A and B are shown apart, each in its own frame.
Chain A
Amino acid sequence: MSTELGKFKAGSPMADVLRMDRMPHIWCPGCGIGSEVNSFADAVKRSGIDPKKLVVVSGIGCTGRVAGYVNFDSIHTTHGRAIAVATGVKLANPELTVVVFSGEGDLAGIGGNHLIHAARRNMDLVVICNNNFTYGMTGGQVTPTTPNSAIASTTPYGNYEYPFSLPFLMDAAGATYIARWTSVHSRNVTQSIEEALLRKGFSFIEVISPCTTLYLRRNRLGDGVDMLQHYQENTIIKHGADTRETAIDYQGKIVIGKFVDKNKPSYLEASDKCSIKLVGDDYQLYGKTIPEREAEEKAEKERIAARRAAMAAAEAQGEAIVPATTRKASAAKVKKAPAKAAATPKAAKKAAVKPVKKAVTKAPAKAAKTKFQSKIMPAKQALAGTKKAAPKAAAQAKSKSTKAVAKAAPKKTRK
């Protein structure tokens, strides 16, 4: 196992941005966090930002462990306080790009107050929220986003609370960039993170993801692949959607897309403006005048632009690089995963149902490109806003999917 692991570590296209000395990670097979981290790592590379100036802050929980696996300056904080710590990091050194990567229980539950206030201030942070409707680390309790009627260990007879719709919450609180995707939309996730890394103000990216071990199992929703298929068939891309209409019902349709992207002075911009009014042009923050900081920022932007141009050129020549290798690598992982899982007795039981599942896993993998491009991931067009195409595709998918689900998995409905 160790040699295999060694090979994997050496061969990973993300070896430079992940802490390979900490692999293997703790996440379960089929969990969505790993692919989000991959998207994040990919986005960092694509963005052209200086990885030395990137700080990742996480809270507690399964997603809270992200900080421990990314090879940037990283802080694993207390439960719920990641945004507050990140606020301190950013304000103490405005040159840094600060990303908060945590789960919905951490961010919207125990840390809800920090979340809304950072959004209100338009604090210069990128918040990536893995929303799996579950407190995973503690064994599958109900969270502030668990859909009504879903079963959790602390709502054994079904959740009778009303969940948060995080995009709506963030919109109301004042976030200036809000996007929601699911685990199956990894390229959109990458693109949204990349956009967020390059903008000022508060960006919130929600990624709906499967918790296979707890949420899916307890609600008898199949495994990770089943849930990815569910996402594929039940998501509606609606850029600029009214965030009041982004609520998620139990196993219902999920509205995804980039909902908000607007300009408003960020916290630091507003704070600078106020201080310069008071002190005049001599105003310095940490010994640097505003023109000095602006010049540094401009120079950094130029460096970023140059890096991006170089990457684009390399990609055009077909040499590269980051995205292509990433895809290969993730495909390889998908193949490997079942083999690994079979080693455990639990997985061996699962393997009995293998033939059907293999077919399911293989099919989307092959068709991935076309499907992803046509419906799920109209990559650049999607973010540019091809509103018309999306609902059509979704409608088509809907008719197909309902049949498919009905045929393939009639047993998987909840008691």
Chain B
Amino acid sequence: MKTVAADPKGVDSGPHFMDGDHALAEGALAAGCRFFAGYPITPSTETAERFAERAPEVGAMFIQMEDELASIAANIGAAWAGQKVMTVTCGPGFSLMTENLGLACMTETPMVIANVQRGGPSTGLPTLTAQQDMMQARYGPHGDNMIIALCPDSPQECFDLTVEAFNLSEFYRVPVIILTDETVGHMHEKVVIPPADQIKIVPRNNYSGPKEDCRPYKFDSKGGHPMVRAGDGYNFHITGLTHNEKGYPVMTAEQNVKVVTHLMEKINSNADDIIRLDEDQIDGADVVVVSYGITSRIAVKAIQDARKEGIKVGSLRLITIWPFCEKRIRELTGKVKAFVVPEINYGQMVKEVERCAGSHSKVISVNHCGGAVHDPAVILDAIRKANQ
């Protein structure tokens, strides 16, 4: 990935005391996002508010659309008109966005969507935390498709991972979802925004070659294919229909294989480059706690307590949730007695861990539904049980 320094105009360098939602907006501006179409929904609204407030001075455009269907749709349009784009929402809004999330995947449109998760289903717990949309982010839109999802555990990471989300999104031309949660979104902490020249961003890569060679797509299971920008004279066509590399509809079984394989494999076959994990004392561990987002911070306390008791416990924090770190789990399977998977849902990512662990290691789910973070004692109990 070719990177350049961030445009100082969008970078509010220095130490801040801000919550995760605001940090998402700052991350977007730092990454060069200049278009934000949003719709208010608790607990994500603050991101839209901050972007709206900052937009005039940065020279960006903010628009509050009539609903989430429209926000993500406007983002698709803006992306093809040359802007880096972002929107935020939570469960109910994300449900509406899945329609055009599918279109964004199909048309390989770079964009960042933050889902500040709250308890569901339906209207659920608008002001309380959850991690219940992990599978929705992956499997929300109909049809086979693949996205990238990142999971920050702090306001600082909300900033950092938003920049990274834009970089991945630009390179792989895929929607990148930031799966945070109400707790991180509303938690105020120190956030240090580096100087612009220390923030590496992947700039929009627009096609500039001869018209006859212009192809909006290249079905090669790789990243790095340039976008085509509206107004540059290439007369591109894009569609949600199964299409060829020129963007024209070709509705055959053979073409569907080509398109879908590319959409899946441009992420899956590059998973090693994409996936970021935060590992701690995994070598020689008997128990590995696999966690993400706010739950990983609760798990830290349980892990510390367990170590005091002499249990060899490691931590595997999933910064990249999708694509799932299959390879790493398979490597550890058989070497560790058990995986402990705490999460604020009825057990979602634990199924991925179980799938990769097979029958070689135990997998213990420490789930509880939305509304509150874990009590560290519950995770500690699970670690003890896992060590038996």
Contact = CB atoms under 8 A, between A and B. Distances in A.
Contacts of A283: 56, 59
Given A86-B77, A93-B230, A76 B70 contact: no
A91 B238 contact: no
A87 B103 CA distance: 16
Contact of A81 (B34, B69, B232, B241): B69
Contacts of A72: 235
Interface in A85-105: 85-93, 95-96
What interface size band does chain B fall in? 35 or more
A78 B99 contact: yes
A19 B237 contact: yes
Nearest to B63: A91
Contact of B239 (A76, A96, A285): A76
A52 interface: yes
B81 A96 contact: yes
A276 to B, nearest CB: 9
A17 B279 CA distance: 57
Given A78-B240, A114-B70, A92 B77 contact: yes
B73 interface: yes
Interface in B319-358: none
Contact of A77 (B67, B73, B235): B73
A244 to B, nearest CB: 25
Interface string A245-280: 000000000000000000000000001001100110
B230 A73 contact: yes
A22 B230 contact: no
Contacts of B63: 87, 91
Contacts of B73: 77-78, 81, 84-85, 87-88, 114
Contact of A114 (B66, B81, B239): B66
A74 interface: yes
Nearest to A276: B56
B301 to A, nearest CB: 44
Nearest to A26: B249
B59 A88 contact: no
B117 interface: no
Given A86-B77, A117-B70, A92 B35 contact: yes
Residue with the highest number of chain B CB atoms closer than 10 Å, among A21, A77, A274: A77
Contacts of B57: 278-279
Given A55-B231, A76-B240, A87-B74, A22 B248 contact: yes
Interface string B211-246: 000000000000000000011111111111100000
Residue with the highest number of chain B CB atoms closer than 10 Å, among A53, A55, A84, A113: A84
Interface residues of A, number: 44
A88 B74 contact: yes
Contacts of A285: 59-61
Contact of B77 (A22, A85, A113, A278): A85
A88 B75 contact: yes
A92 B60 CA distance: 9
B132 interface: no
Interface in A152-195: none
Interface string A53-82: 101010000000001100111111110110
A275 to B, nearest CB: 4
A284 interface: yes
Interface string B74-95: 1111111111010000000000
A117 B236 CA distance: 28
A287 interface: yes
B237 A93 contact: no
B67 A74 contact: no
B25 interface: no
A5 to B, nearest CB: 17
B267 interface: no
Given A53-B231, A84-B70, A84-B73, A76 B80 contact: no
Interface string A31-53: 00000000000000000000011
A114 B240 CA distance: 19
B137 interface: no
A52 B234 CA distance: 8
Contacts of B102: 78
A75 B34 CA distance: 21
Given A76-B238, A284-B59, A287-B59, A84 B231 contact: no
Interface in A219-252: none
A278 B75 CA distance: 25
Given A74-B237, A278-B56, A113 B61 contact: no
Contacts of B154: none
B237 A113 contact: no
Interface string A201-220: 00000000000000000000
A75 B69 contact: no
Given A76-B237, A78-B100, A275-B56, A91 B230 contact: no
Contacts of A68: 237, 239, 248-249
B231 A93 contact: yes
A67 B74 CA distance: 17
24 contacts: A55-B230, A67-B237, A75-B237, A75-B239, A76-B238, A77-B73, A77-B103, A81-B99, A85-B77, A87-B73, A88-B37, A88-B73, A88-B79, A88-B85, A89-B80, A92-B78, A92-B85, A93-B230, A93-B231, A96-B81, A114-B66, A114-B70, A117-B70, A287-B59
Interface of B: 34-35, 37, 55-57, 59-61, 63, 65-67, 69-71, 73-83, 85, 99-100, 102-103, 230-241, 248-249
Closest 10 CB pairs of A and B: A88-B77, A88-B74, A92-B78, A84-B73, A92-B81, A76-B239, A84-B70, A88-B78, A85-B77, A89-B77
Given A76-B249, A93-B81, A96-B81, 11 more contacts: A72-B235, A75-B80, A78-B102, A80-B69, A85-B73, A87-B70, A87-B77, A90-B81, A91-B63, A93-B230, A114-B69
